[in-house]
Chain A
Amino acid sequence: MTSTSPAPTPPTDVSAESGRVSTADAAPHQPSQVALDRARFRKKQSARSVLIALVSTVVVAVIVWIAIVNTPGWALVQQSFFDPKTAWEALPSVLLGLWTNIQVLFFASIGVAIVATLLATVRSLRSPVWFPLRFLTTAYTDLFRGLPVLIVLYLVGFGIPALGVFPRVPAQVWGTIALVLCYSAYVAEVLRAGMEAVHPSQRYAARSLGLTHGQTLRLVVFPQGIRKVTPALMNDFVSMQKDVGLISVLGAVDAVRAAQINVAETYNFTAYVVAGLLFVLLSWPMIRLTDWYTARAQRREQTGGAV
């Protein structure tokens, strides 16, 4: 036991300090010895946790490194996957390709935002009049959530141009459309989940003010729903950020395709690693932002509290 029993003193008489009740804000509180000791202990404790985490990370990293380096084929793997010279030479063309990916990502995000919002809105319509439309959107989200992105890319990227009714456009345009088709289905479901998570009392309150169903959705339900699902939406965005690399199968010269070309020229796989690292770098800010936002939202919901 680290403490001593407090003496059973009679209740402290604070009436003598009556003047302090209202003016206490003025005088800053001087922490006592006990509080200082506790603060010191907590600081030491957290310093120890950080140290343990650091040491264990370094130990694991070293063990993994030694294990890999001592494999029989390491020299060959290092040469064909991690060759600095090849990496440096591949970088300009892969970077140029990545710019294509970023453009596709930009337009696909806008497309997904619009289509997904429409889909989610239609699915939340209650009136029987809308049944056919509701049924269609349900079928759509079911279909495109089930279809592999790659197959949609092939169907859209090779199938639609083959119809011969559309003017020739670059492959990345079809790639963008295919991504919008797939990701809208996912994002629409996330948005719908968010809208349904808004408590019904919010709808009652909005309708009781005389807002129409549409106004209620737009002004009350949607803003709250989107806040609830922001982490999930950001997660979908990060996922799409790397799936834009799949448009290379249509022949669009994006980062993956540029790397592939380099690999064919040099018989060295390093360019793929370069492209991979660039994709990680591209998605990293968004991943960190997602984590930060999620942590902040959690802090706000659990106002105070040490649990």
Chain B
Amino acid sequence: MSDTDSGAPVLSMRGVYKAFGENTVLRGVDLDVHRHQVVVLIGASGSGKSTLLKTVNLLEQIDDGQIFLRGQDISDPRVDVDATRARIGVVFQQFNLFPHLTVLDNVTLANRRVHGMPKDEAERIAVELLGRIGLADKLRSYPDRLSGGQQQRVAIVRAIASSPELLLLDEITSALDPQLVGEVLDLVAGLKSTGSTMVMATHEMSFARRAADLVVFLKNGVLVEQGPPEQVFDDPEHPETREFLARVHAVG
């Protein structure tokens, strides 16, 4: 298996095209994400950030190009889609916790039903992770009893409970009140320190600057510029990046 091939990037996209009918959303995206790397996607709404993340998780079928997960071409139709998704954790903008399950069941579901883990072990992991983010007293609560920030932190724990090789975060703070954004981003920063590999679409530029190893600017489905945060934010090469950042800073 190429899983043991530590030389290959965790995620590698080559010439990825994606169109919805007439509307081309990704136009030949090339991107490499290496182990322990935090890649932050920035760009205006509709630039293709979310679609890019969805194609990686095979929630959207790509029209051209290839996507490799640890060297395995996961865009090949012969690939087991469910098994591939089980290797990737995803956190959504709207949390998408299951409202009919308790916090504990939300977090243990995949480990028990997909990864075949015994219930007590799955619960031990869930309790440990939830305890670490201060939600140990919410185990038996249902998601609608939690604040948005708590829900999103549970959603993150749900995504990481099965120790995925790659974590995709899709504008995870966009649906939160400003005072709740901090607790979620702190958790993500904590994940970075434990070595998680992450790709994150966000509008939080200050967080991107603080946490990112690689910042990627997308416009109209084209990967315009990528580089370390200090380069992209302080000295962008491309006029369109400069224009975008100027507009963001004018608002923020």
Contacts of A2 in B (CB 8 A): 73, 76, 78
Per-position 1/0 for B211-222, Cβ under 8 A of A: 000000001111
Q: For the complex formed, measure the closest distance between the CB of A101 and the CB atoms of chain B, giving whole angstroms.
A: 43
> Which chain A residues lie closer than 8 Å to B5 at the CB level?
5
A35 contacts B by Cβ under 8 Å: yes
Question: Interface segment, B24-32, B113-121, B146-154, B182-190?
Answer: B24-32
Question: Is A167 at the interface (CB under 8 A from chain B)?
Answer: no
Tell me how far the C-beta of A9 lies from the nearest C-beta in chain B, rounded to whole angstroms: 8
| Residues in B whose Cβ lies below 8 Å from that of A306 | 58-61, 81
Tell yes or no: B93 within 8 A of A by CB.
no
Could you tell me which residues of chain A, from 13 to 40, have a CB within 8 Å of some CB in chain B? 14-15, 17-18, 20-22, 24-25, 29, 31-32, 34-35, 38
Nearest residue (CB) in A for B12 is A6
Quick one: which of A6, A9, A305 has the most chain B CB within 10 A? A6
Binds A, one of B14-22, B156-164, B192-200: B14-22
Residues of A within 8 A of B66 (CB): 3, 6, 34
Residues of A within 8 A of B32 (CB): 8-9, 11
* Contact A305 to B60, CB < 8 A, known contacts A18-B240, A25-B24: yes
Q: How far is the CA of A12 from the CA of B15 in the complex (A)?
A: 10
B40 within 8 A of A: no
Known contacts A8-B32, A21-B222, A21-B240; A35/B77 CB under 8 A: no
A180–B163 Cα gap in the complex (Å)? Answer: 59
B224 within 8 Å of A by Cβ? yes
Tell which of A5, A14, A31 touches B71, judged by Cβ atoms closer than 8 Å: A5
Question: Closest chain A residue to B81 by CB distance?
Answer: A306
Contacts A12-B223, A20-B27, A306-B81 known; 14 new A-B pairs at CB < 8 A: A6-B9, A8-B7, A11-B31, A11-B32, A14-B224, A15-B238, A17-B222, A24-B221, A29-B24, A31-B64, A32-B15, A32-B64, A304-B54, A305-B59
User: Closest 5 interchain pairs by CB?
Assistant: A3-B73, A5-B71, A35-B64, A12-B30, A5-B8
